[in-house]
Amino acid sequence: MNAVRTARIAGALYLAMMPFAFFTLYVRMEMMPGASAAETAAHILAAPGMFGTAIVTWLTSQVISIFLVVQLYKLLRPVNATQALLMMVLALVGVPITCANEAHQFAALMILQNPILSTGPENQLAQMTLQFAMHDRGLAVAHIFWGLWLLPLGWLVYRSGFLPRWLGVLLLIAGGGYLVDFFTSTLFPLAGVTLTTFTFIGELVLPLWLLIRGVDVARLPGEAAAT
């Protein structure tokens, strides 16, 4: 059935995003492990190609997410067309925000590689630090849409009948985690609390379920089976 194929494609795309995103996070943790600005600059200048690759892989993950949300929309539209459209729009709005935010990473690398862009080593490090701080704020804004799109997705999964309800609950929790992290990082920036460290499980289980288990064919509505 077409819905089964759509579910498998969505699961594969969701999983395909993860290596790209994890590589980016790994590189940035290695190069910016809470060290001083001077140490961070030294790490980046020692491997600028790796730092640039991390930017590319992050952008790649965002491009994949566009194709992912289209497949999820096709799969879940028969459950509720309005909610499925809302899910897709919220997800797609977050993509350009996240991509544009990488300009701060490009800027930091340019500042380090082109001393002429600053008036001295101290200004160079200060400008680099500012770009990284702006990037963090941009990610906080992106958290709004990373969380919001998971709410209609979770509700659609919960109501679908052809996917387990507990999976929908996990997705709702994951969406709430992103939103809580946004408000916490904005209102209490020194708190250092990251709720998504514990609430992301739904985003890992969903693609595995779609790819391995697929959908309950017997409970597919007629329109879903033909989608």
Mean per-residue pLDDT of the chain:
89
Closest by Cα among 42, 15, 20, 18 to 30: 42
pLDDT tens string 105-125: 999 999 888 876 655 666 888
What number of other Cβ atoms are within 10 A of residue 183's Cβ? 12
Query: What are the CA-CA distances from residue 211 to residues 7, 42, 117 (Å)?
Result: 7, 42, 48
pLDDT under 70: residue ranges of the chain: 1, 33-35, 116-122, 192, 222-227
State the Cα angle at 223 between 220 and 227, rounded to 5°. 95
